[in-house]
Amino acid sequence: MATLYAEYGVSANILFGDIQSLQNTPFGNLIVVLTGAADQVEAALTYLKQNDVTVTDVDLEAVGGED
């Protein structure tokens, strides 16, 4: 998360996190809101994907978030 801010100027607000173990292999999920300039957020998302992070975009309006 520090890299997102340092390299891309994107802030990450962690809303939820969970780590579990399956056959002694840890895995986890984070629900994160990224804020920043649109092009910088896109660059940060590309960085995450290139580093084997699965990213799922959630439409906040569809789930009753931001208006």
User: Does a structural domain hold residue 55?
Assistant: no
Residue 28 has what pLDDT? 92
User: Does a structural domain hold residue 59?
Assistant: no
Give the DSSP H/E element, type plus range, for residue 45.
helix 38-50
User: Does a structural domain hold residue 44?
Assistant: yes
C-alpha 37/C-alpha 30 separation (Å) is 21
Provide the whole-model pTM: 0.77
Residue 65 has what pLDDT? 62
User: Does a structural domain hold residue 31?
Assistant: yes
User: Does a structural domain hold residue 65?
Assistant: no
Positions in the chain whose pLDDT score sits under 70: 63-67
Residue 42 has what pLDDT? 95
The domain tally of the chain equals 1
* CATH classification of the domain holding 21: 3.30.70.260
C-alpha 8/C-alpha 47 separation (Å) is 10
**Residue span of the structural domain in which 35 resides:** 2-50
Phi (first) and psi of residue 14, to 5 degrees:
-80, 120
Residue 58 has what pLDDT? 83
Residue 66 has what pLDDT? 59
User: Does a structural domain hold residue 66?
Assistant: no
